[in-house]
Amino acid sequence: MTNKGQDKPERLPKKRAARAGTGNAGARQRREASSLAPQQERSRESLRKLMKAATEVLGQHGVEGATIPRIAAHAGLTPGAIYRRFSDKDALLESAILDIFARQDDRLRTGLTQEMARHVPLPVFAEQLVHSLLVSYRAHAGLLRAMRQFLQSRTGTDFWKKIARLEKRSYGRLVDLVLTNAKDIRHPEPRIAVSLGVMMVICTLQEIVVDTPDTNYWKDFLPRNDQALRRELTQALLSYLDVNRQKRNHE
């Protein structure tokens, strides 16, 4: 006589079967996660390349010349790959410009803390600030000009408001860094003086470097070279802040 139980397939107890199913699902999820991570990293790297290419093309060719095909070629991508991420050129440029302002704000937040600035004498800090601004404006004049044109065409939009918030926050960080040594400022309203003084330096550089690409345009009215320009702008800023002249000369 045969045993009927031998003719039936072996069945796992319900709890054991549930655990086995969970284990299979867990293994599948781990495999999917491990394959997804490189894909995500490749996607992030592709986006970084695209942002970099858009920024460089915008600086070299201006708003009109920053076309999707040109940016795609610069990034080593196809136009179709860009359109899968962005609806049009304006959306791409908005993202690239937001990225520039966000990175600038992050550098100001992490690059030099107030504790670090406290150990830098104000005259030295002012000279370094003017120098870095001048070098940056010279190096990125085309990009700054194009970004300004693009921003003006978006005045009042949500994009413009985001940029305005980032720009004001970054400017506030910069003012706070200068004010770290407010004890050396004899102007009766140090924060107003620093805010306006730094703005005057920025606006001067904006006018003579960014808004006037022809370097000969102001040559009869400006210092003969960038070294002299940096020195004069630094002295103008320190004088406006009413930093003690003896301290300036000593530093």
Side-chain half-sphere exposure of 189, counting CA atoms within 13 A = 5
Question: Does the pTM exceed 0.85?
Answer: no
- Confidence band of 1 (pLDDT split at 50, 70, 90): very low
- Percent of the chain residues past pLDDT 70, beyond the cut: 82
- Percent of the chain residues past pLDDT 90, beyond the cut: 70
- Interior angle at CA 109, CA 104 and CA 112, nearest 5: 100
Question: In the CATH scheme, what is the code of domain 14-82?
Answer: 1.10.10
Tell me the domain boundaries of the chain: 14-82, 88-250
Q: Which fold has domain 88-250?
A: Tetracycline Repressor; domain 2 (1.10.357)
pLDDT over 50 (residue 77): yes
Amino acid at the residue 126: A
- Confidence band of 64 (pLDDT split at 50, 70, 90): very high
- Please tell me the predicted confidence (pLDDT) of residue 27: 60
Q: For the stretch 145-155, what's the b/e string if a residue is b when 16 or more beta carbons lie within 10 angstroms of its beta carbon?
A: bbbeebbeebe
CB count in 10 Å sphere of residue 211: 14
Work out the average pLDDT over 101-115: 90
8-35 residue pLDDT tens: 444 545 544 444 445 566 666 655 545 5
14-82 matches 88-250 in fold: no
